[in-house]
Structure 1
C-alpha cells in the first residue's frame, strides 16, 4: 500500500496481538491513516495489518467486520485474527498495493478493474443472509427530514465554518427533504442482501492488477442499491472535480499541471466541461454496472434507488469535505447541486448515467 509514513518501533500492544495470534513478531511497523489505530508490520515475509477499532460504534463495527468471511464477493485481504476484547483485526497485506483513489486521479483505474469489481459486488449481494443475520445492520448516511430542515444549536456550535456552509446548502432547498424521505422509505422497503455498506474508491486496493475491497466495518444486511449507488456516485463526483482539469477528455489548459488557475468559467463553460468529463468516465460506470447485472439481475425499482443513492453520494461527499474546511470551493457546491438534481429525477438520471434497464439486465 502506498504511504508516506515511516517505520517506527512496533507498539507494545501490536506485539502482544501478534503473539496471541501466533504470528511472527516484527521490530518495526508503519502507522496507516484512517479513523482507527492501524499499523502495518515490516517483515520480509508475512507482513500483516493490525487494526484496533476506536471511536463511535466501535463494537458494532467490529462485529460487522469480523462477520465478513470473504467466501463470497469481491477479493479482500485474508482475516487472520479477530480479538473481540481488544477490538482488533489482523489481515494479510497485499504486496505493492495501490489505492483506488490514486489510480483514479492518475487515470489508470481501468474499465477492466470496474468489471471485475462489479461482478464481485454482485456475488456478495447474492450471498446468504445467515452470515450477517446476527450483526448490527448498517445504516445508510441519509439524514432525516428534520436534520435537513433544522439542526440543534448545540450541534451547530461544534461545526466548522465549512460544515455550516454545507448544511446551509442542504437546508436552502425546500424540496430536498421530500427527495430524501422518498429515498429512505424506498430503501427501508427494499429486500435485504449482504452488503459492504461503505463502498467507495478509497476502500479499494489494487494489487497484481486485481481489485481488493477493504474496511468491512459497515458490512451487514442492507439494501444492495446503497453499495452500487455509492460506487457510481464516486465517478460522478470525480467528473465534477475534473471540470477545471485536463484529465479524462483533454479539455484542459496549457498549464503544466493541467489545472485552470485564477480563471473564472462561465456557466455555459462549466456545463460543457462537466458533460465532457462525465462522458469520459461513463465507460467505467457502464463497465461496473453491466458486469454487476450479468451476475445479479435488477428491476426498475432498484435502478431508481441506485441512481438516487448516487445523487445522495455527492451530498455526502460535500459534508465529508466540509468537516475540516473553513470554506467550500465552488466545485463542491456544484457537485451538491448535481446531486440534488439526480435525487429530484432518479429515472431520468439513470438514462444519463447508462443505468437504464435493458432486457438482458431485467429481473
Structure 2
C-alpha cells in the first residue's frame, strides 16, 4: 500500500474519499439569501438589499428580457441561423444581480454565456448573435461598454481580468469604494479546475488586485457534475490564496446584487480580490450541441425549477409590492418586440468577405499585410466564373 511507503503517515490519509454520485438528489446548502423561492424577503447579518421595489421591478424586467433573448437565440440556432448558442437559462439572477452592481468605470471580462451581463452593460444583443452566427469575431469595442469580448478558451479571461485590474492600480484608479474602479471576471465551476484560474488567483492575491472573481456554479461542467470538480465548496478555495470567498444563492437576484456590490466596493477601495460563488443551476443544455438528458436526472431539473429566479421575483412583486397585472403584460410585450427585432436583425446580418479580416489585424495596415491581402484577393479572383 502507498501508506506503507511513507513512514509516519497515518493510513487513513490515503484512504479513498467517497465522491457523491451524480445521480444523488441535490442537497440543500448554506448561502447568502435575501429572497426565498416563495418570494419572501429574509434578513442576513452581513448583507442587505437597500434598493426599493422600483429597482426590484427593474430586475424583473431585465431577467425577463434576457431570458427572451436567450430563448430566441436558441430557436434561431435550431433553425440553422446560428452555428451554436450557449444558453443562460436559469442563471438570469446571477448575471443581472451582479451586472447591476457594476458602476460605469468597472470592467467586465466574460466567458461565452454572460448575455445578461452584456445586456446590463449596454452591449447590443445582435452583436452577440453575430459572433455565434460566424459573421464576425465579436463586433463590439470593449471600451464602448467596459465589456471585453467573449472568451471561448476556458478560464483565460481570469488572467486578462487580473492583468487589467493591476493596470487599474497603476493608473491610480483604486482607493475609493464609490468612485474607484474594479474588474470582474466571470467563469464557471468547470473553469475553476483550470490552471489559468488558479494562477489568476495567485497574482490577484499577491498584488492585491481590485478584481472580483465571479463563479457561476451551475452544477455541471458540460457533463461533469460539481462533485467531480472539487471536494470542498468552491468559495472556500479563496482562503488558500489569501482572500475572502462567499457563496450566494445565485437564483436570488437581490442577494447576488448585495454580495457583488460589497465585493466590488472592497476592490475599489484597495482591499483586494474576492471570490463570489453564485450557487445556481443550468436549466438548459451546456450549448445547443449538448444533450443534458444523457447525464443528468429529470428529477434534478424539476427540483431547481421550483427555485426559478424570475418566478420568485414575480411572487414578491405580486404578493408584497402591490404590482398589478398591467406591469407584467408590458414587460412581456417589450420582450416580444425585442425578440422580433433580434430575429430580423440576425437574418439581415451581412455575410463577411475574407478580405475583411485583413482590416482588423493591426490598427494601421503594414506593407506586409497589404501584400498578403492583395495576394489573397488575386487568388480568390482566379476562381471567378468557375461556378
TM-score (norm 1): 0.23
- When normalised by structure 2's length, the TM-score is 0.22
More strand by share: 1
The structure having more radius of gyration, on CA atoms, is 2
